[in-house]
Structure 1
Amino acid sequence: MLHNHLVALRKARKGEGGFTLIELLIVIVILGVLAGIVVFSVRGIQDRGETAACRTEVKTVETAVEAYYAKHDAYPTSLDDLNGTTDPDDKFLRSTTLEYATLGADGAVTGAC
């Protein structure tokens, strides 16, 4: 009696679809590969962003140095000269907290881009 009932249940479920363990593992592996691709793609975008920020900062400081030279006929000796610390009328930069650009003694601007 119990055997007949189990056979009937098995026949009733035979047409139902489902996922096997192998199919689920394949899906997990595919999702892992896609996640790895996304992580490496995002890292490349971030690196390009930092390079662009560096170049922009160097160009901004170069422009400030040129403006300072045009006004004073001499190059600034420090970044404080460019942001108006020594003279409030000479505010060519908003701040001297720069990440990438440095100012040399001869007014040359360098950056590690």
Structure 2
Amino acid sequence: MIYEAFLAGFWASLGSTLGKLSGTESVVGNSYAIWVLLLTVMVVVNTWGCRHYLRSLDAAANSVAPTVVSAATSYILSGLIGIFLFDEGASVTWWAGAMLIILGLALVARPRNKPKDA
């Protein structure tokens, strides 16, 4: 379940990256073919992410864990892609928020020990 939710977040962040690249003039230039190609691949990648998200929902006992895992993965990876690929800045506040998201992800994804009935 967690693996599928992680992949859903990964594909979502890749899809958003392709969407941003399709609007970047230095990548697309005046070529409609490159623009259409990037948008088409973005749609395919996002569809693939939805597939993994639905598979994670199917495997989970509730919808909270897959939603948190995929959203957190997407947020963190999109931020890292923005920093390293697009030269966007990240403040200390962003890094602190990213660490809190990872901490929350660890709390939500951990296995539960059910108490035994006496």
TM-score normalized by the length of structure 1: 0.30
Point out the structure with the larger strand share. Answer: 1
Answer with 1 or 2: which has the greater Rg.
1
Instruction: Identify the structure with the greater helix proportion.
Output: 2
- TM-score w.r.t. structure 2 length? 0.29
